[in-house]
A and B are shown apart, each in its own frame.
Chain A
Amino acid sequence: MSVTATARITAVADGRGSTALPVLESEGPLALRRTRSPDPAYTRVTVVGAMSAPLGGDRLAVEVLAGDGARLTVDSAAATVALPGAGPDAVPASYDVRLRVGEGAELHWLPEQIVSAYGSELDLTTRADLAATARLVLREEQVLGRHGERTGRLSTRLTVRRAGRPLLDQQLAYGPGAPGGWDGAAVLGGHRAVGQLLVVDPAFEDALPPPRLLGPCAALTPLAGPAVLVTALAADARLLRAVLDEALEGLLKETTALQEA
Chain B
Amino acid sequence: MTTRAALLVLADGRFPAGGHAHSGGAEPAVKAGRIRDARDLEEFCLGRLHTTGLTSAALAAAAAQGLDPLALDEAADARTPSPALRNAARRLGRQLMRAARATWPSPELAALAEARPRGAHQPVVLGLTARSAGLEPADAAHCVVYETVSGPATAVVRLLSLDPFEASAVLARLAPALDRVAGQAAEAARHGIDALPAASAPLLDISAEAHAAWPVRLFAS
Q: Are A219 and B205 in contact (CB under 8 A)?
A: yes
Residues of A within 8 A of B44 (CB): 181, 184-186
Least Cβ distance of A192 to chain B in Å? Answer: 12
Q: Are B47 and A185 in contact (CB under 8 A)?
A: yes
Q: Are B50 and A169 in contact (CB under 8 A)?
A: no
Chain B 81-96, CB-CB to A under 8 Å as 1, else 0, gives: 1111010000000000
Q: Are A219 and B209 in contact (CB under 8 A)?
A: yes
**In the complex, residue of chain A having the shortest beta-carbon distance to the beta carbon of B29:** A185
Q: Are A184 and B198 in contact (CB under 8 A)?
A: no
Q: Are B205 and A231 in contact (CB under 8 A)?
A: yes
**In the complex, residue of chain A having the shortest beta-carbon distance to the beta carbon of B54:** A179
Q: Are B84 and A211 in contact (CB under 8 A)?
A: yes
- Identify which of B3-11, B72-80, B97-105, B128-136 touches chain A: B72-80
- The verdict on B123 contacting chain A, using a C-beta distance below 8 Å, is no
- The verdict on B169 contacting chain A, using a C-beta distance below 8 Å, is no
- The verdict on B48 contacting chain A, using a C-beta distance below 8 Å, is yes
Residues of B within 8 A of A189 (CB): 32, 34, 203
Q: Are A171 and B35 in contact (CB under 8 A)?
A: no
Chain B 50-63, CB-CB to A under 8 Å as 1, else 0, gives: 11001000000000
- The verdict on A2 contacting chain B, using a C-beta distance below 8 Å, is no
Residues of A within 8 A of B54 (CB): 179
Interface residues of A in 134-188 (CB under 8 A from B): 157, 159-160, 165-173, 179-188
Task: Give Cα A169–Cα B72 distance, bound, in whole angstroms.
Answer: 13
- The verdict on A93 contacting chain B, using a C-beta distance below 8 Å, is no
- The verdict on A221 contacting chain B, using a C-beta distance below 8 Å, is yes
Least Cβ distance of A57 to chain B in Å? Answer: 25
Task: Give Cα A219–Cα B77 distance, bound, in whole angstroms.
Answer: 17
Task: Give Cα A184–Cα B198 distance, bound, in whole angstroms.
Answer: 19
Say whether chain A's binding surface is mostly helix, strand, loop, or mixed: strand
Q: Are A187 and B202 in contact (CB under 8 A)?
A: yes
The 8 Å CB contact of A170, one of B50, B200, B212, is: B200
Interface size class of chain A, counting residues whose CB lies under 8 Å from the partner chain: 35 or more
Residues of B within 8 A of A224 (CB): 74, 77-78, 80, 86
Q: Are B81 and A221 in contact (CB under 8 A)?
A: yes
Task: Give Cα A82–Cα B204 distance, bound, in whole angstroms.
Answer: 27
- The verdict on B124 contacting chain A, using a C-beta distance below 8 Å, is no
- The verdict on B46 contacting chain A, using a C-beta distance below 8 Å, is yes
The 8 Å CB contact of B209, one of A173, A179, A213, is: A213
**In the complex, residue of chain B having the shortest beta-carbon distance to the beta carbon of A195:** B202
Q: Are B43 and A184 in contact (CB under 8 A)?
A: yes
Residues of A within 8 A of B25 (CB): 186
Given A170-B81, A184-B40, A184-B44, are A218 and B206 also a contact pair (CB < 8 Å)?
Answer: yes
**In the complex, residue of chain B having the shortest beta-carbon distance to the beta carbon of A170:** B200
The 8 Å CB contact of A186, one of B51, B177, B210, is: B51
Chain B 188-221, CB-CB to A under 8 Å as 1, else 0, gives: 0000000001111111111001101100000000
Task: Give Cα A189–Cα B201 distance, bound, in whole angstroms.
Answer: 10
Given A185-B44, A217-B206, A231-B205, are A180 and B50 also a contact pair (CB < 8 Å)?
Answer: yes
Least Cβ distance of B24 to chain A in Å? Answer: 9
- The verdict on A65 contacting chain B, using a C-beta distance below 8 Å, is no
Q: Are B200 and A172 in contact (CB under 8 A)?
A: yes
Given A180-B50, A213-B209, A213-B213, are A172 and B202 also a contact pair (CB < 8 Å)?
Answer: yes
Residues of A within 8 A of B50 (CB): 173, 179-182
Q: Are A168 and B81 in contact (CB under 8 A)?
A: yes
- The verdict on B49 contacting chain A, using a C-beta distance below 8 Å, is yes
Residues of B within 8 A of A183 (CB): 43, 47
**In the complex, residue of chain B having the shortest beta-carbon distance to the beta carbon of A208:** B83
- The verdict on A233 contacting chain B, using a C-beta distance below 8 Å, is yes
Q: Are A219 and B75 in contact (CB under 8 A)?
A: no
Q: Are A166 and B74 in contact (CB under 8 A)?
A: yes
**In the complex, residue of chain A having the shortest beta-carbon distance to the beta carbon of B197:** A171
**In the complex, residue of chain A having the shortest beta-carbon distance to the beta carbon of B79:** A169
Residues of B within 8 A of A61 (CB): none
Residues of B within 8 A of A187 (CB): 47, 51, 201-204
| A interface residues (Cβ-Cβ under 8 A, vs B) | 157, 159-160, 165-173, 179-189, 194, 211-213, 217-219, 221-224, 229, 231-233
Which 4 residue pairs spanning A and B have beta carbons closest together?
Answer: A181-B47, A184-B43, A181-B46, A185-B34
The contact sample of 11 A-B pairs, CB cut-off 8 A, is A170-B81, A170-B198, A172-B202, A179-B199, A180-B46, A181-B43, A182-B47, A186-B43, A211-B83, A213-B206, A217-B206
Q: A211-B209, A223-B81 are in contact. List 17 more A-B contacts (CB 8 A).
A: A166-B78, A168-B81, A170-B198, A172-B202, A179-B199, A181-B46, A184-B44, A185-B40, A186-B48, A188-B202, A211-B82, A211-B83, A213-B213, A219-B205, A223-B78, A224-B86, A233-B206
